[in-house]
Amino acid sequence: MTGLQLFWFIIVGVLFSGFFFLEGFDYGVGMSAITIAKDKREIEQTIGSIGPVWDLNEVWLLTAGGAMFASFPYWYASLFSGFYLVLFLILVGLIFRGVTFEFRHHAHSEKGKMFWTKTLGVASFAIPFLFGLMFTSMIQGVPMDAHGNVSATFTTYVNPLSVVGGVAVLLLAWLHGLNYLALKTEGDLRARSAKVANILYFVLYAGEVVFAVLLAIFTDFFEKHFVGTLVLLVAIVVLTVVAHLAVRAKKEMTAFIASGLTFVALVALIFQGIFPRVMIATNPAHSILIKNASSTGYTLTAMTIVTLCILPFVLVYIGWTYYVFRKRIKK
């Protein structure tokens, strides 16, 4: 394995971390629009809090997928062909969720506007669950031949670890969204977001314990990377406790950053667990390794130069956007 191959494996992980940190709270806000917002004005307040940034956040997913395609085409081909059904459902959810912002804005009746609000909420619940389902299915090992062809069955996608993983990612996104709402809104919605988050954190504690047990049973993470896996699991729990305590102490920025970093620790757990593989096969001889899945050294070098030239401008643009829309949303 070369340094460039390792660098791009880490970059793909960083991009997925950025996606879950930034888009994760968008999903949580979408869930909250149909669960904790009590009237039309609170629904507008809820959706208005992510109006200027949701499409900017979603770009991280496109960038992560594009980086995976360009740097590790063999990994991309096996993952997208093996999990095409789950990814198709995610794509449908992303399309419906994306159009709801425009369609509900142009709806001619309150009934039509409410229909698109509920569509936004349902898609916001479904997408993080399906992402959790896919990633936790992938880390258990999939039936794959020596050419990277995945022959998945229903139980490859749906099993105890994948369902718990899907629910855990959904809960994390919801809590991240509630922390964002407490940070970005005023009035009853702000107080109610913190109140609901305080309750949901107790559910998340139970989910994290079950997830850790199932991770030890259904994956080889502890066998191959005992220290790293243990450290990252502890980090996830500690960050959850920090976020929960910050919610109770009404330290909203701390709660939001801690819940976002929980996502980062979860992605780090997955990437360090599969290392040096990118796809784990049920037959270890057929697993795809980083060194076998990447593009040529010339391609990776060119991608690195372009990324280093463009990335500073992208990060400045993202930071400027959040600075401009930093004020709280009133009812």
Beta carbons within 8 Å of 204's beta carbon, 6+ residues apart: 168, 171, 172, 175, 240
For residue 111, what are the CA distances in angstroms to 30, 118, 223, 226? 18, 11, 54, 54
Beta carbons within 8 Å of 297's beta carbon, 6+ residues apart: 2, 4
Every domain of the chain and the residues it spans? 3-325
pLDDT values of the chain reduced to their tens digit, one per residue, 331 residues:
899 999 999 999 999 999 999 999 999 999 999 999 988 899 999 999 998 888 888 889 989 999 999 999 999 999 988 899 999 999 999 999 989 988 988 888 888 999 999 999 999 999 999 999 999 999 998 999 888 888 888 888 899 999 999 999 999 999 999 999 999 999 899 999 999 999 999 999 999 999 999 999 999 999 999 999 999 999 999 999 999 999 999 999 999 999 999 999 999 999 999 999 999 999 989 999 999 999 999 999 999 999 999 888 988 998 999 899 888 887 7
Structure tokens at 247: 């919610």
pLDDT of residue 178: 97
For residue 327, what are the CA distances in angstroms to 21, 38, 117, 282? 20, 22, 23, 50
pLDDT of residue 331: 73
- One-letter identity of residue 59: V
Secondary-structure percent of the chain, ordered helix, strand, coil, rounded to 5:
80, 5, 15
pLDDT of residue 73: 94
For residue 210, what are the CA distances in angstroms to 68, 122, 205? 30, 25, 9
Beta carbons within 8 Å of 217's beta carbon, 6+ residues apart: 161
